[in-house]
Amino acid sequence: MTENNTSAPEKQQSLQQSARPRVNEFRRFIRVVSARWINIVGLVIIALFIIAAIFAPLLAPYDPYKQDLPAALQQPSAAHLLGTDDIGRDTLSRTIYGARISLIVGLVSVLIAAVIGTAMGLCAGYFGGWAQTIIMRFIDALMSIPPIILMMAVAALLGGGLRNIFIALSIGMIPVYCRLTNGQIISTKEADFITAAILIGASPMRIMIKHLLPNSFATLLVAMTMNLGFAILAEASLSFLGIGISPPTATWGSMVNDGYRYLLTNPMLSFAPGVSILAVVLSFNLVGDGLRDALDPRLRGII
Amino acid sequence: MLSFIVRRLVQTVIVVLLVTIISFLLMQLIPGDPVLTILGTEATQEQIDDLRKELFLDRPVYEQYIHWLNNSIHGDFGTSITLRQSVSKLLITRIPITLYLALLAFIGSVVLGIIFGILSAIRRGSWLDNVVSLLANTGVAVPVFWLGILGIYLFGLTLHWLPLQGYTSPFEDFVKSIKMAIMPVICLGLPFLAILTRQTRSSMLEVIRNDYIRTAMSKGLTERVIVFRHALRNALIPIVTLTGINLRTIIGGSVLVETVFNIPGMGRLLVLASFNKDFQVVQASLVIISLITCLSNLAVDISYGWIDPRVRYD
């Protein structure tokens, strides 16, 4: 937005900067991220959930799928810290296992969306003309439908299952990356180093990957971090609606839905998975904010 | 101005046409034969052939598409295969409910979002700013369906302040309608409110650093005049852009909120239709939703000129 209208004092600042000794980029990155306690909190929460997901079999006190009808719908107690559901499954264990699905679905679908979306955006921006018009109009069309509705329709029509959830979630997120990359490419395409690359005979592929892509890397990383939270929220929404990963699998969204029926007697059944969703999504957003501050070249020298 | 509107309308038509193609292709993804799904396994070959002919499914895909598009333009979106009703009639009864709640949520979040954003920008670093920032961060991250359930638990089941679920038309019983709408509207609006608050805050912070604000302050103008006359107007452009993009967030949220609160709107219909692979309903809903999004974006673009006279439409 403001790239083009650098004001006089800012220019002066950047001149002063170039005269300064080089700072260690990695050290600066660590310093900026750890300067705000809220970033640390976000990182710690994400780390905790990742550990829970990886070591779920060791950490979960019970088998998340083992039914125990005599122990159904128990209140939180020493034996079942968060109580049990209507067929006696331990809520804490299911919440821990739920982290697996959420994180895997988030990570994989964001990666798919980022790769496809970025490739589309690169092609549109680099080739311009008709290629750009067609790709970007197609993206406009996708964007005119709310992502959650697009994801729901795709997932429902394809039928549930992990693979189809990956597809559905990525389709909903591709437009973000496509637009982002396209915008970045348009603004860097005219730079001298690109003209130089063309002149020495570099192929379009090489220019796109070696010269144009690295310039949007920071922006993409921030968008992906933020999107991880969004993908996890979307997956939870889909499994809450019952359109997603099939029932016995422990997912936070379907746990909230299952607990809904027992709201009056056992509110913990929906509270525990709901809080987990909130905590993870919030953390990814906070860390995304922190990353943006650390990677934004305009803030260099200020923080 | 007029040529701008015409050009944008043409663009809107292209985008909506693309959406019809995309949604039509999506329906081709449905595994299995829709005719068999409708008729069940005991149908005779003759029945199957008849229905296939009736639904135009015996023709090539592009002919099916043109047939469907032609009917849709004339307001006939076909017949729902599970509800056995005209899709247009289904949608006409349900869209007003969704739009009514969405508009309440939209207006509420715009008003509150701008007020919260301004307050936290001009009292930057105060406890108010911290509370608003925390709420804004949480508002984006909270699963709305879960928020709705929390609301039902707290205000419905525990405190008995509000009805649990359902919908009443405001023309039928106004007070009851408002009471029933409070929780759904908050759930629908919260994510948008949070985004808008953050945008207003950062855009106000950028504007109040400018020299003309310092000039206004040194002239001795009151804070209110400075904020509303000088700062807000200039901060408004990115805020308005955001409202255009995010109206769709509210419509998207209606899918979840209407399910939680059992509201007979378009969102609930769309969930059920997706569930039953009722492709006629899904197709029509996607097209209508995209039309709503495009038209609201157009309205936003037109409003730029009114907010900022420097904007020229050419």
3-state secondary structure A99-123: HHHHHHHHHHHHHHHHHHHHHHHHH
Q: Which two tokens stand for residue B154?
A: 């707290």
Q: Record the tokens describing residue B241, joined without a space.
A: 């852009």
Strand partners, A84: A90
Cβ(A268)–Cβ(A91) under 8 Å?
yes
> What is the residue range of B231's domain?
87-307
B167 within domain boundaries: yes
* Most B CBs within 10 Å, among A95, A148, A226, to test the B interface: A148
Give the separation between CA B191 and CA B168, rounded to whole angstroms: 24
A153–B252 C-beta distance less than 8 A: no
Instruction: Determine whether the interchain pair B248/A278 forms a contact, defined as Cβ–Cβ distance below 8 Å.
Output: no
Tens of each residue's pLDDT in chain B, 314 residues: 778 788 888 888 888 889 888 888 887 777 666 677 666 667 777 777 777 777 777 777 788 888 888 888 887 787 777 777 888 888 888 898 998 999 999 999 999 999 998 888 888 778 888 888 888 888 888 898 899 988 888 887 788 787 777 777 777 777 878 888 888 999 999 988 998 998 888 888 888 888 888 888 888 888 888 888 788 888 888 788 778 777 788 888 999 999 999 889 899 999 988 888 788 888 888 888 888 888 888 888 888 777 777 766 65
Inter-chain touch B145–A1, beta carbons under 8 Å = no
Examine residue B91 and state whether it is found in any structural domain, yes or no.
yes
**Between chains, do A153 and B286 touch, taking CB under 8 Å as contact?**
yes
Question: What is residue B108's predicted lDDT score, i.e. its pLDDT?
Answer: 92
Beta bridge partners of B295: none
Residue at B297 is within a domain: yes
Residues 6 or more apart whose CB falls under 8 angstroms from that of B253 comprise A146, A148, B105, B144, B187, B188, B191
Q: At what angle do helices B87-122 and B233-260 cross, to 10 degrees?
A: 130
**Contact residues on chain B for A244, CB-CB shorter than 8 A:** none
CATH code where residue B208 lies = 1.10.3720.10
Give the integer Cα–Cα distance in Å for A31 and A33: 6
B41, part of any domain: no
Residue B221 distance to chain A (closest CA, Å)? 27
Longest dimension (CA), chain A: 77
Tokens, residue B129: 């700013």
Comparing CB atoms, the residue among B15, B29, B289 nearest residue A158 is: B29
For B294-308, the pLDDT digits (tens) are 888 888 888 877 777
Q: Is A242 on the interface with B (CB under 8 A)?
A: yes
Say if pTM beats, i.e. exceeds, 0.90.
Answer: no
B146–A277 C-beta distance less than 8 A? yes
Asked whether residue A30 carries a pLDDT value surpassing 90, the answer given is no
Hey, what are B89's tokens?
């009639």
ipTM of the predicted structure? 0.86
Inter-chain contact B18–A274, Cβ cutoff 8 Å?
no
Q: Does the residue B256 lie in any domain?
A: yes
Is B15–A152 a contact, with Cβ atoms under 8 angstroms apart?
Answer: no
The predicted structure's pLDDT at residue B311: 66
| Distance, CA of A136 to CA of B190 (rounded, Å) | 30
Q: How far is B211 from chain A (nearest CA, A)?
A: 13
Is residue B153, in this structure, part of any structural domain at all?
Answer: yes
Report the C-alpha gap between A188 and A165 in whole angstroms.
35
Q: How many domains does chain B have?
A: 1
Instruction: Tell me whether residue B28 is in a domain.
Output: no
Give me the helix-helix angle, B233-260 and B174-207, nearest 10°: 140
Q: Which residues 247-276 in chain A show a CB within 8 A of chain B?
A: 253, 256-257, 260, 263-264, 267, 270-271, 274
- The reported pLDDT for the residue numbered B112 is 92
% of chain A at pLDDT higher than 90 = 18
Q: Which residue of A has its CA nearest to B282?
A: A153
Percent of chain A surpassing pLDDT 70: 87
Would B126 be classed as within a structural domain?
yes
Residues of chain B contacting residue A1, judged by C-beta atoms under 8 Å apart? 238
The closest of B135, B240, B128 to B186, measured between CA atoms, is: B135
